């Protein structure tokens, strides 16, 4: 955790796959993730369609085309785990993680796994658990499993040089 | 002589009886109307309507603090439940999930009538494909959790579109399931009263209902926690009630204090109870005459006028002091003419206030004129007959001689007075940037601490003070809504181009019927929709069968009756509709509060806003800048007060020239008064007190009141061998002390306007006496006394 917290800035590629029962096939997307310690996280989806999600000081802003949606996380607590799990892990913010989840750490520094289970009953209704795998100060994958069987896997690729 | 005195007494008794009847039947008000113009311009009329009846005038912020978060949340929930069942309140919101769910449920059920996105284009195959693709993107984002349960019924995302259009969430933080301050130490509730802001009695009842409900909630809390929770209330209704209470209590407190101090002063001087009682007769008669005249002339007497009127005690008492202290034989021929001229100069000063658009000042003018004339006449015609029965007044000749010696020593240093204009000019120059207070808030009787609390609670509750309102009106509700809808479209363009940050509109949650039916007509029939959906979904990862609930909902919306205000009942949108769509005297008005992107609107943005609102002259729309208009109102009062004060000063000068028949005598009377005015202005500036309208009025009163002292010195100089100089001086000193006491008591008032007036006139009157004596020259010499 402390190792993660030393990281101030990150700019990486990602790929994400969502498996949703209602849909005939998984939704796939890819783009770039930008992180500025401690509470600015940006997910720029480039394919299949351009979309930007910005988490800044607890407010999630989504831009699609000309439309902007703003979600203050405190008003939508059920959305929080989806973004807070990544942000707090990146920030090495153990306290924030433990506010939302029960945290279990396994493995060693070279290959570790964090398993997060929602601490709060309202969160637990939607999210079953979150598995974050990484090596040293880098996160490799984030897998979110929902109670209805839907799940998403975010795979983090190589660092994009500035 | 005896007969005239008898007749005068009889007339006086009759007039007192008339006065008592008028005063007993008069109406007394203590609301903000004392500060609102008597003959408003159209913009001012809008402002006044907003201040009295506008949405802000109904809104109270209630905060619970102390104990722990769980206890506060519990108290908040129970308080909300109690208040919601009280008809005095239109809406009570503490942010509980149930209310949020009710609002969402309403928006969801009526989404096809409420969403501005519902057009024919959106329900074509291409439109559906674009909207559903957007929803799929959302499904694959953190918002997916919100979208997924609704996806089958609302694949075009109308609900999220409506929520977006209702504005970014400004809702307060939530702690333990209810609204709280950001730091979580206070639970917050927003309460909307049914009564208008101008109905202070009803607002007081509402405040009391909240306190009672709170007491009941606290009593029901478990042992040990009941004492720890405290109630805070703020907002215009609370302020209206507090202002009235504070004015009432201040008038009672200050007039008793003032009367008590003057009684003590006079007892110490006279050492005679009958003389004291007789001295109070003109004062009481004057106060009675003043209130009666204001009641007859204005219809209602403002509490603040009675507050101002305390000063009359200090002034009217002077006349009988002159009568009792100066030699009896001199009264009619020497003292009375001087008093008469003094009354006339004071009347000139107060008469200048009569044309003021600020009702509080106009009433003060009339009250003082009537009061002073009555007091002087009673002193002249009623009191002398009784004076003979008072034998034991102390002879103040010795004391007067001592005063004369002190004043003479001061007079030898009169060259120092040259410094007064120099120092005053320096102070004024040093503070030239912040000399005037230009905000209506400077008249606010509510304490600064309460205003600061209001600001803090507003910020915490996300209920910022509304500054700009676009107002669309029409002869009936439907017309006002249609005008609001048309206006919304023009304002939306301004939001789009970043000129304004956003706006609210009642047409968003109750669209006009024409808009509702246009939206309904845009919805295709079920078979048609099914066919278009199949086309739209080709290539998308979702089957049409998923959307059966969507087709059912659209079909239901096609059959549903239009939305009416009754459908909004019980939601916070219903409360918002009550606030934003109001029935006025001449029809209905829809209010569209406009917010800036950040901070305040720039002047360019305001110009664009005004242009957009005025673009359609048929729409009957206007922009109201609440704070700007209020401040303009105040600076109007201020410049009018300045003009009136100058006119009053000019009238006094003219009167003196006519009465004294000498330019140089007039100058000798006016010079010390002008110096005291300068000295007081300089002191106020040096103390860093921005000058308000009441300071200006106070300066005029320094001249009007101070002229009495200057005139006595003028008389002693003009007729050096008439009357006793020491006794005259003694009477002037006592009269001056009485005046300074009365105004000085005002100066310690918690009501800003009273304090401003008192803190100007009290030192001014003292200086007027001192400067007059210093400049009186030979008139002071005891040698000039006859004994």
B677 is a domain residue: yes
Determine the structural domain holding residue A102 and report its residue range. 2-157
Interface mutation vs chain B, best among A21, A24, A52, A81, most B CBs within 10 Å: A24
Which member of A60, A69, A126 has the closest CB to residue B160? A69
Q: What is the number of domains present in chain B?
A: 1
User: CB distance from B175 to chain A under 8 Å?
Assistant: no
- Residues of A within 8 A of B174 (CB-CB) are 74-75
What is the span of the domain harbouring residue B350? 2-30+239-444+630-784
| Predicted pLDDT of residue B197 | 73
Which of B137, B160, B174 has the CB atom closest to A74's CB atom?
Answer: B174
Q: B24 and chain A: CB distance < 8 Å anywhere?
A: no
DSSP H helical segments within chain A, as ranges? Answer: 2-5, 80-91, 94-100, 121-126
- B552 pLDDT band, cuts 50/70/90, is very high
3-state SS class at A23: coil
Residue B170: per-residue pLDDT:
59
Share of chain B above pLDDT 70, in %: 95
Average pLDDT of the segment spanning B305-333: 81
Provide the token pair at B262.
Answer: 């003057």
Among A151-155, B581-585, B701-705, the range scoring the smallest mean pLDDT is: B581-585
Q: State pLDDT tens for residues B204-223.
A: 999 999 999 999 998 888 87
pLDDT at B96 over 60: yes
pLDDT exceeds 50 at position B415: yes
Give the angle subtended at the CA of B362 by the CAs of B359 and B366, to the nearest 5°. Answer: 135
The reply to whether residue B171 touches residue A69, judged by beta carbons under 8 angstroms, is no
Could you tell me if residue B738 is inside a domain? yes
The yes-or-no verdict on residue B391 having pLDDT over 70 is no
Q: What is the distance between the alpha carbons of residues B650 and B656, in angstroms, rounded to a whole number?
A: 10
Q: Residue B80's pLDDT is what? A: 92
- Position B368 in a domain: yes
More confident residue, B6 or B691: B691
Looking at per-residue confidence, does B425 or B303 come out higher? Answer: B425
Cβ-proximal residues to B735 (8 Å cutoff; 6+ apart), any chain: B317, B318, B321, B322, B708, B709
Residues 506-565 of B with CB under 8 A from A: 541-543, 546
Check whether B2 has a pLDDT greater than 70.
no
Please tell me what DSSP assigns to residue B393: P
Beta-bridge partner residues of B67 = none
Touching check for B120 and chain A: CB below 8 Å? no
Q: For residue B507, tell me if it sits in a domain.
A: no
> Which residues of chain A are within 8 Å of residue B164 when distances are taken between CB atoms?
67, 69-70
Residue B53 lies in a domain: no
What percent of chain B is predicted at pLDDT more than 90?
A: 33
In a domain, A128, yes or no: yes
Q: Write down the pLDDT at residue B69.
A: 85
Q: Is A51 a member of any domain?
A: yes
B411, B777 Cβ separation under 8 angstroms:
yes
Q: Per residue in B604-633, pLDDT tens?
A: 888 888 888 888 776 778 888 888 888 888
Q: Does some domain include residue B405?
A: yes
- Give the closest-approach CA distance of A27 to chain B in angstroms: 7
The two three-digit tokens of residue B211, written as one number: 């306190």
| Residue written as token pair 């004071």 | B346
Would residue A162 count as lying in a domain? no
Q: Among the ranges A82-96, B472-486, B581-595, which has the highest mean pLDDT value?
A: B472-486
In a domain, A137, yes or no: yes
In a domain, A147, yes or no: yes
The pLDDT assigned to B722 comes to: 65
Q: Tell me whether residue B167 is in a domain.
A: no
pLDDT band at B783 (very low <50, low <70, confident <90, very high): very low
Q: Highest mean pLDDT: which of A77-81, B41-45, B740-744?
A: B740-744
* Domain CATH number, residue A78: 2.50.20.10
| Each residue's pLDDT tens digit, B340-376 | 998 999 899 889 989 888 888 899 899 999 999 999 9
Domains held by chain A: number: 1
**At residue A2, does pLDDT exceed 80?**
no
- Separation of CA B172 from chain center: 28
- B541–A69 C-beta distance less than 8 A: no
Q: What are the angstrom distances between the C-alpha of B353 and each of A137, B410, B740?
A: 78, 35, 21
Q: Which of B141, B174, B546 sits opposite A62 (nearest CB)?
A: B141
Q: ipTM more than 0.95?
A: no
Q: How far is B508 from chain A (nearest CA, A)?
A: 18
Q: A16: which chain B residues are within 8 Å (Cβ-Cβ)?
A: 140
Q: Does A78 touch chain B (CB under 8 A)?
A: yes
| A12 contacts A159 by C-beta, under 8 angstroms | yes
Residue A104 forms part of a structural domain: yes
């Amino acid at each position: 955790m402390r190792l993660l917290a030393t990281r101030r800035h990150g700019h990486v590629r990602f790929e994400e796959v969502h498996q949703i029962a209602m849909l005939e096939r998984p939704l796939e997307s890819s783009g770039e993730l930008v992180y500025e310690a401690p509470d600015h996280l940006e997910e720029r989806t480039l394919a299949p369609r351009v979309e930007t999600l910005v988490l800044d000081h607890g407010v999630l802003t989504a831009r699609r085309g000309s439309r902007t949606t703003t979600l203050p996380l405190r008003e939508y607590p059920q959305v929080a785990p989806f973004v807070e799990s990544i942000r707090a892990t990146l920030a090495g913010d153990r306290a924030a993680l433990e506010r939302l989840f029960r945290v279990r750490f396994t493995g060693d520094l070279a290959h570790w796994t964090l398993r997060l289970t929602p601490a709060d009953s309202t969160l637990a209704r939607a999210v079953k658990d979150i598995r974050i795998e990484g090596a040293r100060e880098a996160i490799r994958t984030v897998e979110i499993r929902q109670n209805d069987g839907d799940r998403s896997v975010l795979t983090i690729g190589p660092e994009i040089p500035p | 002589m005896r007969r005239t005195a008898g007749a005068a007494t009889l007339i006086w008794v009759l007039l007192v009886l008339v006065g008592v009847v008028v005063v007993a039947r008069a109406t007394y008000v203590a609301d903000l109307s004392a500060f609102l113009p008597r003959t408003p311009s159209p913009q001012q009329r809008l402002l006044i309507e907003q201040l009295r009846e506008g949405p802000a005038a109904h809104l109270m912020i209630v905060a619970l603090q102390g104990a722990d978060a769980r206890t506060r949340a519990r108290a908040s929930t129970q308080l909300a439940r109690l208040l919601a069942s009280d008809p005095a309140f239109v809406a009570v919101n503490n942010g509980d999930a149930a209310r949020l769910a009710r609002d969402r449920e309403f928006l969801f059920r009526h989404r096809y009538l409420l969403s501005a996105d519902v057009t024919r284009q959106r329900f074509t195959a291409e439109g559906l494909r674009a909207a559903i693709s957007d929803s799929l993107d959302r499904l694959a984002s953190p918002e997916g959790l919100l979208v997924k349960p609704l996806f089958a019924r609302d694949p075009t995302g109308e609900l999220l579109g409506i929520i977006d259009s209702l504005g970014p969430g400004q809702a307060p933080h939530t702690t333990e399931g209810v609204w709280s301050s950001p730091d979580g130490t206070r639970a917050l509730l927003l309460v909307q009263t049914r009564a208008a802001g101008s109905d202070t009695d009803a607002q007081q009842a509402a405040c009391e209902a909240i306190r009672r409900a709170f007491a009941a909630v606290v009593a029901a809390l478990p042992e040990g926690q009941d004492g720890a929770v405290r109630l805070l209330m703020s907002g215009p209704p609370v302020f209206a009630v507090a202002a009235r209470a504070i004015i009432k209590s201040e008038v009672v407190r200050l007039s008793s204090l003032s009367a008590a101090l003057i009684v003590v002063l006079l007892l110490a001087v006279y050492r005679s109870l009958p003389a004291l009682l007789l001295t109070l007769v003109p004062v009481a008669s004057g106060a009675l005459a003043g209130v009666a005249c204001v009641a007859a002339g204005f219809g209602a007497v403002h509490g603040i006028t009675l507050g101002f009127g305390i000063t009359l005690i200090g002034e009217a008492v002077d006349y009988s002091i002159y009568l009792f202290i100066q030699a009896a034989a001199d009264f009619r021929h020497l003292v009375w003419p001087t008093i008469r001229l003094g009354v006339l100069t004071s009347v000139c000063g107060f008469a200048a206030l009569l044309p003021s658009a600020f009702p509080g000042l106009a009433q003060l003018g009339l009250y003082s004129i009537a009061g002073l004339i009555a007091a002087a006449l009673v002193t002249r015609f009623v009191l002398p007959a009784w004076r003979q029965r008072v034998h034991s007044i102390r002879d103040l000749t010795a004391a007067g001689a001592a005063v004369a010696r002190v004043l003479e020593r001061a007079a030898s240093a009169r060259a120092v007075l040259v410094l007064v204009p120099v120092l005053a000019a320096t102070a004024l120059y040093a503070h030239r940037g912040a000399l005037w207070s230009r905000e209506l808030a400077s008249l606010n009787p509510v304490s600064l601490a309460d205003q600061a609390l209001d600001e803090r609670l507003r910020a915490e509750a996300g209920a910022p003070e509304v500054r700009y309102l676009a107002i669309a009106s029409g002869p009936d509700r439907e017309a006002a809504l249609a005008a609001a809808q048309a206006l919304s479209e023009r304002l939306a363009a301004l939001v789009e181009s970043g000129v304004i940050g956003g706006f609210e509109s009642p047409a968003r949650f109750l669209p006009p019927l024409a808009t509702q039916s246009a939206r309904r007509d845009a919805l295709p029939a079920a078979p048609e929709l099914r066919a278009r959906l199949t086309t739209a979904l080709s290539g998308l990862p979702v089957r049409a069968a998923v959307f059966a609930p969507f087709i059912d909902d659209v079909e239901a919306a096609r059959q549903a009756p239009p939305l009416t205000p009754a459908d909004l009942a019980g939601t916070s949108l219903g409360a918002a509709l009550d606030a934003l769509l109001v029935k006025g005297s001449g029809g209905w008005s829809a209010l569209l509060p406009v917010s800036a992107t950040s901070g305040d609107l720039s002047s360019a943005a305001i110009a664009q806003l005004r242009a957009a609102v005025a673009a359609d002259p048929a729409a009957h729309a206007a922009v109201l800048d609440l704070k700007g208009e209020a401040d303009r109102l105040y600076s109007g009062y201020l410049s009018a007060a300045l003009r009136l004060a100058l006119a009053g000063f000019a009238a006094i000068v003219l009167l003196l020239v006519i009465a004294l028949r000498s330019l140089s005598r007039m100058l000798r009377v006016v010079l010390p008064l002008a110096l005291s005015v300068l000295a007081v202005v300089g002191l106020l500036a040096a103390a860093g007190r921005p000058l308000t309208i009441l300071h200006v009025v106070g300066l005029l009163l320094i001249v009007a009141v101070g002229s009495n002292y200057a005139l006595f010195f003028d008389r002693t100089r003009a007729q050096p061998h008439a009357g006793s100089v020491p006794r005259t001086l003694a009477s002037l000193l006592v009269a001056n002390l009485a005046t300074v006491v009365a105004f000085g008591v005002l100066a310690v008032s918690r009501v800003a306007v009273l304090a401003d007036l008192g803190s100007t006139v009290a030192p001014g009157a003292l200086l007027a006496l001192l400067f007059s004596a210093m400049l009186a020259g030979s008139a002071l010499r005891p040698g000039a006394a006859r004994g």
